[in-house]
Amino acid sequence: MYAPLWCLCIVVVSAIADNPVVNDCILTGGDKKSAAEQALLQRLAPLKNKIFYASDDEDGDTYKYTFVICGQVNTSTSLYAGLVQSKAGSPDTVIGRYNDTHLINGTDWIMLFYKSGDKYDNHCGKESRQAMVMISCNKNTPGDAFTIISEERNKTSNCFYLFEMDSSVACPAEESHLSVGSILLIVFAVLIAVYIIGGFLYKRFVVGAKGIEQFPNITFWQEFGNLVADGCDFVCRSRPRSSETAYRGVGDDQLGEEPEERDDHLLPM
């Protein structure tokens, strides 16, 4: 009854051995890892497993480069192949492996090292190849413009391939600072909101006001508005509101009772 289970385990283990699923950079340095390098690795997380391509013509031959950040190049059967060189009619060459990764950075750049590549045949003391990828800050792209700059192999040791690319992950974090005026405006807006909302709730549920009477201190604000309008009218008006007319009609209300004329003294005695 246990035979099927053991067979399944063997199949799973064999599949893992044949097609290793490794999708993260392994930092060099032994058991103790650099906190700075781990922080840089976190910054590269948006580019994880992204594939970039570049090509270069040298002596009539075209070399193609495939770069995967913290991931396996699918065209290569070599384990941990992170950067691979291809040439028509020749087997692929692993330039660097991501299980031997090193990271450094500056203000607006990150340098990624893939070491432990395939060994040179006749150059650089037959040491292992290594790739250096300069990731420069570009806020307009998550990752682009992967190109090869040069290959240094005319030394007896410490040879390398140099690449560069643009990415926003290499840009420094932008710190936002509020000015004193902005802080005062925010505080003032919060106080106004608390006053209006708190006053509205109090007038509605405690006092029992309805309609416009729910607005806090409605009488004061109505009078205040009138005073402001009067002040504006007084300060800003350049001439009187109405001019005196040369002739005014006499209304009935301006006519008083005329005294009664008595002519009794004109009658004959």
Q: Are residues 145 and 44 in the same domain?
A: yes
In a domain, 154, yes or no: yes
Encoding tokens for residue 8?
């399944």
Q: Which of 123-132, 138-147, 167-176 has the lowest mean pLDDT?
A: 167-176
Domain presence at residue 115: yes
Q: In this structure, is residue 130 part of a structural domain?
A: yes
In a domain, 8, yes or no: no
φ/ψ of 208, rounded to 5, equals 85, 30
- pLDDT at position 206: 86
Q: Which range, of 27-31, 39-43, 257-261, averages the lowest pLDDT?
A: 257-261
Shared domain for 76 and 203, answered yes or no, is no
> Which of 170, 199, 226 is a domain's end point?
170
| 65-84 pLDDT tens trace | 999 999 999 877 788 999 99
- Here the CATH number for the domain that contains residue 162 is 2.70.130.10
Closest to 114 in 3D by CA, of 75, 155, 78: 78
| Confidence (pLDDT) at 117 | 95
Domain membership of residue 204 (yes or no) is yes
Of 145, 170, 195, the residue at which a domain comes to its end is: 170
Statement to judge: residues 95 and 220 lie in one domain: no
pLDDT level of residue 1 (50, 70, 90 thresholds):
very low
CA quadruple 124, 126, 129, 130: dihedral positive or negative?
A: negative
Domain total of the chain: 2
In a domain, 33, yes or no: yes
- Greatest Cα pair distance, the chain, in angstroms, is 165
Q: Using CA atoms, how far apart are residues 189 and 175, in angstroms rounded to an integer?
A: 24
Q: In the chain, how many H helices and how many E strands? A: 4, 8
Q: Give yes or no: residues 62 and 108 share one domain.
A: yes
Are residues 214 and 144 part of one domain? no
Cα 199 to its chain centre, rounded Å, is 38
**Alpha carbons 207 and 222: distance in angstroms, whole number:** 19
Q: Over 90: is that where the pLDDT of 130 sits?
A: yes
Looking at the fold, whether 127 and 189 belong to one and the same domain comes out as: no
User: Is the confidence at residue 103, as pLDDT, over 90?
Assistant: yes
Strand pairing report for 61-68 and 160-167? unpaired
Domain hosting 201: range is 180-237
Same domain as 230, residue 145:
no
Q: Which tens digit of pLDDT belongs to each residue from 208-266? A: 888 888 888 888 888 887 888 888 877 887 666 655 555 555 555 555 565 566 656 55
Let me know if residue 48 belongs to a domain: yes
191 within 8 A of 155, measured Cβ to Cβ: no
Looking at the fold, whether 24 and 55 belong to one and the same domain comes out as yes
pTM summary value:
0.59
58 belongs to a structural domain: yes
Specify the pLDDT at position 5.
Answer: 44
DSSP 32: S
DSSP tag of 27 = B
Residues 117 and 215 in one domain: no
